[in-house]
Amino acid sequence: MSLATALCWSCVRCLAIALLVWPLSRLLSEAWDATRGSTRRGLLALLFVPFLFPELWVGYAYALWLIQHPVWNELLFDLLLLLKLVPAGAVVAHLSPPPPMSAQAIHCRRLAIRSDARWSSRFAVQLGCHVRGPLRAAVPAVALVFLLAFQDYELPSLMGIKSWTVWMFDAQAGARDATTALHHIGWPLACELAVLLPALAVTLSNSVQPTAMAEPVWPLTGLRSAIVWSYLVVSATLTAAIPIAITGRGMFAGFGQLFRNQSQLASLLSNIASGFVIGALAAGLTCGVAGRLLTPNPSPPWGEGKIDAAMLPRRRAGVRWLLMLPGCLGSLVVGLLVLVLFQRTPLFVVYDTPLPLVIALAAWLLPRGVLMLLLWSGIRHGAGSHLADIIHRAPSAPVAAKGIDLMWHLRHRPAWFCWMLVSYWAYLDLTSAAMLAPTGMASAPVRLYDLMHFSRTSLLSAQTCLTLLVPVVLLWIGFGVRRQVVRWLAV
């Protein structure tokens, strides 16, 4: 299979998935707005299960269950990828501002068409209304889903699906250095930029053009409610429950074999620890840069008069998008670029250290870090933080403790959740870790990925479970410890 064939097929597949995801994302975004309390929490929990469940586990489970027919395998892969990316589209649809033309404005514009107007005039009016209305609103979500599907590597590799990422990774693995594979990156990069740059232009133009008023929020009842909840249950079942059930058979016997082989267990735990530490460092760098990019800076640090104050927000937005651009191109592209940078420059002296991998992971995850901080920024309010400071200074110890708890909920908990999630994404990444990990610090997911191509045993299922769950337990332990540390420092 040539790169051109894999690239064309990847583009067709990703475009079809992105177009199918948009109406589902819009419906789920409306359901998100319409629910409250425990119902909303349950809806969001089911919504994000497909996106957060480890892709390595899904690919390994369904690789055990593949039907030996390329068409059915392709359809199963497309379905799993679609279900995985619907949450990302729903988040973008939820955060995106309304388009310049609302549904009411479009209806009024259609009523204003003269009855004796030519069909070409009617078509032009209809097209203009859609371009400034629903089509414009769909561009960010459709572009994001296309890019995420286009950049996916783990799932197609484990399920034996044709993809340009699999072709490129294999070419890089068989080359003497990264420049050989980098020569072939031009066309995939052009495809990504052809989608990314127009979407970026639409997103930036939405910030300077007047937008329509938000659509009214309708209650989630009747048929819409049945569709939403049925979809959420089916998606969580296919992407999480079934993989757990498939790999769960014989897993306890595999744990027995693993714990009896102390050297193998020690090696696995060492790989988990090295991958977890590198992921945590990359996540810290990502969240620090993302927080800095989102921090308002009304006055220029170089003094007044040297730059127009009105131009400062626009320049800051340009710098923000420039820093996030590498991450929008995917882990494989970022890893190749960082690999060449540290192989072909004086930075070669630190090539066999964790630094290249930390930089690559941080650059790839920066857009996700910014999106997570934006998603959680709604619960961090200046007035609430000021009130927490006042309560914390109260002379009564019980009242001061309430202020500490309020500071935790408003300031520290959202940032900690963001760091936890970004750390886990960095830990699970295969492509950057396989290319840039220093000698003797191979991460556990990379080790398991290599083994999954040769065997499907209960021992490997137990190793997979341990590899993917131990970091989650460590992160939640750190979450509890962090809260107690915040209490202790604030006293």
Residue-wise pLDDT tens for the chain (491 aa)? Answer: 788 888 999 999 999 999 999 999 989 988 888 888 888 889 999 999 999 999 999 988 888 666 667 788 889 999 999 999 999 999 888 887 776 666 666 667 666 776 666 767 766 766 666 666 667 778 888 999 999 999 999 899 888 888 999 888 887 765 555 666 677 888 899 999 999 988 888 777 765 555 555 555 666 777 888 899 999 999 999 999 999 988 887 788 888 888 888 888 999 999 999 999 999 999 999 988 988 887 765 444 334 444 444 444 556 666 777 888 888 888 998 988 898 888 888 888 888 889 999 999 999 999 998 888 877 765 445 555 556 666 656 666 665 666 666 666 666 677 788 888 999 999 999 889 988 888 878 888 998 888 887 777 888 889 999 999 999 888 888 877 766 665 554 55
Contact call for residues 463 and 254 (beta carbons, < 8 A): yes
Quick one: pLDDT at residue 307?
Answer: 40
Structure tokens at 298: 């009304």
CA atoms of 236 and 222, how far apart (whole Å): 22
Query: Fold identical between 1-209+219-248 and 251-296+313-491?
Result: yes
Q: Choose among 317, 370, 371: nearest CA to 204.
A: 317
Report how far Cα 28 is from the mean position of its chain's Cα atoms.
17
Q: What was the pLDDT predicted at 210?
A: 53
Spatial contact of 148 and 17, defined as CB atoms under 8 Å apart:
no
Q: Is 351 helix (H, G, I), strand (E, B) or coil?
A: coil
Every domain of the chain and the residues it spans: 1-209+219-248, 251-296+313-491
Concatenate the DSSP letters of all residues of 286-307 into one string.
HHHHHHHHHS---S-TT-TTSS
Pick from 55, 12, 317, 23: nearest CA to 142: 23
The pLDDT value given to residue 299:
44
The CATH fold of domain 251-296+313-491: MetI-like fold (1.10.3720)
Query: How many helical (H) and strand (E) elements, i.e. helices and strands, does the chain have?
Result: 24, 0
CA 261 to chain centre: 36
**Count of beta carbons in the 10 Å neighbourhood of residue 110:** 12
Count Cβ atoms below 10 Å from residue 257 Cβ, excluding itself: 15
Closest CA to 442 of 273, 259, 281, 262: 273
What's at 352, amino acid-wise?
A: D
Domain 1-209+219-248 in this protein, CATH class: mainly alpha
pLDDT at 304: 41
Residue 95 near residue 34, CB atoms below 8 Å: no
DSSP result, 45-96: HHHHHHHHS-HHHHHHHHHTT--S-HHHHHHHHHHHHHHHHHHHHHHHHHHS
Which pLDDT does position 85 carry in this prediction? 95
Question: Is the separation of the CB atoms in 55 and 428 below 8 Å?
Answer: yes
Give the residue from 239, 242, 245 showing the smallest Cα distance to 81: 239
Task: Give the model's pLDDT for residue 25.
Answer: 92
pLDDT (0 to 100) of residue 309? 42
d(CA 290, CA 285): 8
* H or E element at residue 114: none
- Measured N-to-C along each axis, helices 186-208 and 3-34 cross at an angle, to the nearest 10 degrees, of 30
